[in-house]
Chain A
Amino acid sequence: MSVSRICSLKRWLAAAAWLVVASLGANGFEGPGAAPRCGGLFSRSASGADMGVIASDIRVQPPAIRLVHHRQPHSILVNATGPDGRVLDLTGQATFASADPKIATVSSLGWVQAVASGETRIAVTAGGKTATVVVTVALPATTPQHSFRHDVMPALSKAGCNMGACHGYSLGKNGFKLSLRGADAAADFLSISDEFLERRVNRHQPAASLLLTKPLGEVPHKGGVRFDAGSLLHQLMLGWIADGAPNDPPTTAEVESIRIYPPSAITSPGAQHQLQLIARYTDGVERDVTRLGIFTANTERVATVDDEGLVITRELGETAVVARFERIFATTNFIVLGEPAGFVPEPVPTDHPIDRHVVEKLNALRVAPSPLAPDERFLRRVYLDLIGVQPKPEELAAFLADPAPDKRVKVVDALFNRPEFVDRWSLKWGDLLQNSRANLNEPAVYSFREWIRTAVASNMPLDEFARRVLSGRGGIQDDPTTAFYAVSKDADETLQRATQVFCGVRMLCAKCHPHPFENWTQVDYYGLHSFFNQGGVKPDPRLAGIPNAKMVTVNLAAGYSTNPRTGRPQPPRFLGGKETELGTGVDRRLAYAEWLVKPENPFFARGMANRLWSYFFHRGIIDPVDDLRTTNPPINPALLDALTRELVESKFDGRRLMRLIVTSRTYQRDSVPNSSNAHDDANFSRFLPRRVPAESLLDSLAQATGVPENFGNAPPGFTASQLPDADVASDFLNLFGKPQRAEACECERDDSSNMLQALHFINSNTILGRLRNPNGRVSQLIRQKLEDAALIEQLYQWTLVRAPTAKESELATQFLRQDPAKRIEAAEDLMWALLNSRDFLLIH
């Protein structure tokens, strides 16, 4: 029998099973029936799981099931391994049989339903192999009532009722308000059961309750039909109302954690994988909540996941699939591999921790990395990345002529000592710490800038850097780092900035409601708030008359912050850690700083390592870099762990980590793809070209054309990388995405390309004026009366930092010789074309 035949038969059986359940009235359970798992369009396991190719025994998940509730069945997953090591999901084609249906029954789809206490076994057969699941049933004497927290709240979330666009909106919708994503069961119970003269919940005529008739579409509902009659969600809510819409006893267990199966999978395009989601409650009970989980795939190009947790893989690549139950998240990682002909694993390097972990992952992915980039491309890349400007022709020539085998390492070490290194990395920190005249007065901006520059120049360890930035007190003349606090308008802003910059965690969402993609709640948020609420910013009385002179004060007597949800003071609580009683009389900011920079802190070293990595690859190992959360897992955890370890063991030596990165083969790889890595944009198998950032582009443009930029509102002679902030008159920098320093987010820098930028490069005076400038590069070279070949070579070196190829040279020569009377114009136009070409605008 074909797979699709089996599937349709199973669908029919499932529908029949549902009829039986439906006839029992509103006592549905979460098992078979509600919706057939075979799906509408896809027959399960349409690819890959051909019976003949199973290389292993079948594996059942879980091998043993314990059922303690009349209405809470458990699913069984059936997996096997293919000959190529990939995971196959056989759940849809397996057959299941219960040894004792008086103890537990099993549906054709593998859902095990308790019948009576006792023990039995389920025989599972697939692909000619068999396995056994041991089932223990321990039911209470009477069928438990439905629970608001365990049945209704998950149903409201699953149906989307409490989404931000629906009743979870802060003002509710159409007079009915729920807590956003089910954050507050107590409040939701009140608004469902007591408001509106009991029309929402009609205990006498449960089916007439608005809570059911609206989402069923039986009466007009602006939010549309949310579930069908007879569906699991309908059963849960109807059952609760029929039980009298009871509140839960105060001892009701809460969800403690959730697990997802499989925890990761390497598979093929077009395959299907059923997920299983298990919740563990505080009383130790485990429950299969797959049917109540909310599933999303982070990269839908690679795989999609449906409402019931069925993953369908699509294109080659990698994606996390995120499951949410109540407010807890879990993720599983799906790697979708092709069949590259003749793939030969790369020997795993042992001499460099980065290369080792990257190559290990690439071998698992059957992706071959690109070879190392040629010297001139490496040189331009490492110059732009480390010091923010292109190499000059003489620097290129010296590097190419150097016969030393370790010349790439030598040039890297030399770059660390260049003044432009300080410019570039001070600029980065200035962005992140939001040093700007939009927030501070000019003396404060310049002295904080100077402090940062000194820290970068002396390679101040990153832990010390963070501790000092977080400990500032007094005015700018007492401590320039007070600018960090002076930027914030209140403790909220400070805690959000500090957490985002130094932990890589975004807390803003949790200020008003539980974070939508993470387990943070207002307890976590106000726990952080209490570390920062002693700080204040006042006008500096010693600098009366100086505009906007600020002073950071610390009121040691200040109590804890109030959590608006509970109305109670919230003791300080380390992110993801314990509450701590610090009380008054101590500067709680310092306690936070000490916690932050401890080597075992789970956020700081990891966040910094990830951030530094991203500056060289334009992508974090966790990406976005300042959005560390469960639902955004690292693409290569071993690599991130190794970098984190390096950073901690080197006592937070940032420069050392940068050196480790740029001396890796991984960083030096060519950007041209091979046959197996063209689709890889996440695992560092080649260098991904990206647009040169605003300041580097302008400084490189000025260097190439020999015409510096004059900025208004900044000291004359400053390069773009040296500017104190974004408060300068430069259409160019604005257009190319220089951050305004209004946010503590890396995302504020915009390195994307757009049409207005192209127009600017094609037609604006920024470019054309430089080409025509009598002191500019073209005029200088013309005055040297160079032969065509030398002129072309010079123009290529100043713009693209390489010699032209023979073909390029030929084309350019033709262009120069078209009209001898217009050689200067032609040289201008050649340079114009080079500046507008990809090789100038991209780091590659």
Chain B
Amino acid sequence: MRISRIAAAAGGVAVAAALVLSGCSSDNGGNGGGSASSGVVNVAWSEPENPLIPANTNEVNGGQVLNNMFAGLVYYKADGSWDYDAAESIESEDYKTWTVKLKADQKFSDGTPVNAESFVNAWQWAAADPELLNQWWFIDAIAFEGGTYDGGENTLALEVIDETTFTVELAEPRADFPVALGYTVFFPLPEVFFEDPEAFGEAPIGNGPYKLGEDGWVHGESLHLVPNETYNGPRKAQNGGLNFKVYATLDAAYADLLSDNVDIVDSVPTSALATFKDDLGDRAVEQASAVFQSFTIQPTLEGFAYDEEGKLRRAAISHAINRAEITEVIFQGTRTPAEDFTSPVIAGFDPEAVEGSEVMEFDPEKAKELWAQADAIRPWSGTFQLAYNADGGHQEWVDATVNSIKNVLGIDAVGLPYPDFAGLRTEVNDRTIKSAFRTGWQFDFPSAANILGALYVTGSGSNDADYSNPEFDKLFRAGLAAIDQDEQSDLFNQSQKYLFEDLPAIPLWYGSVTAGYSTLVDNVEFGWDSWPILHEITKG
């Protein structure tokens, strides 16, 4: 889960500044292509929360920069499909042991070669340190020498074969392993990193389409990237560089977009959702994104255990939410009511193939009936509360959702704002929370395995609802190991039947990219991950 900008940033207020930077720069950075432009693209951005180290970056701001500074083994295209970037091939016979071959003659921007060790050393380093925010990726995916992670010294089951070849042994067979390899955490690191990781985090050296510009990262103001002439992969920069400008609020960024002071704003503020298409015309972008919104009810909440009563109540609540109305009125149609537990931009998305999703239809009669049945088992008393963090802009939809529940079921239902995110997550983590709470998932890589595996498999890391259903687990694991993409999607879709029966989380809607770009840029496209594909943009 990447921490989205909205979840991480303070609702209305936070810090910002921006650095003076002319719209055009003469620095062409040695672009070879004839279609390349020379303008520097200004991108609205917030200050990353952590140093720019791939294994320690789990939010979008740092992720976006790293994604343009590094080339992983694979990269994702706009539609969510993947292709090789630094790798020449990634192959396996049994889907457990994978052989990665790198393209020859690749270099980091400091001139040192990109070889098998660049990847293996980076991964070993990241897996060994639980202080790193992304360490869990390796623990979840890759086998360790001698089996599983012992919490200490043991290393990943990686083996360098030659200069450009290494093997990876997985914990369990996974046919879609190459898909995950485009995620930030799997980027290679140059030797200089290991000498001083701290300094590297301030001024990373990568092997991607861009490198740090002369001004570099000016904290609180901007981060400047210029094209990296040593990069020879498929994502060649088509502009004269990227200037990430820090904004405190989306409103501020949007105001600058209207006056062409910034070129790319990847998220339009709520206050402009109703008007941004008129403001921007064909420069407004609205498309589905890989964000799944829901709320979760822990089984410890009275009346909501995974028993007969709890299932009835969960289903009743789900039927009582008018998702179509809320997405239309509150989000101005920029969200789409959920039809399954994944996302429309994820391969294999097919609501028709998912059984049981009718529990998400708005049906006041059915909702009342199910609630009454649950009351017959044990009467309900009290208030249905839905907790959210007040600093994340969730108040409107939470209020609308609880109003919908209240109007249909005739029970007291209220939104419960937590002043900050840490307070909310602590109670969720300690299982002390006494209410339902908002949950969301932004996909790390374009596969249903990402969300299903992290949230609903027995004992998995982010299973906040303590969900455990052997039938679901079985189908999920079978899907993970399925060789054929269609077969995998089929199994994942089947597995969701159990999720709809038990509703460990109540799906709400899918997110959308609501973005815009200035009159100065062309070729703007947003990827499956809601990110603008920055290297393709032309300007000037």
A binds B: no
Binding site for A on B (CB under 8 A): none
Binding site for B on A (CB under 8 A): none
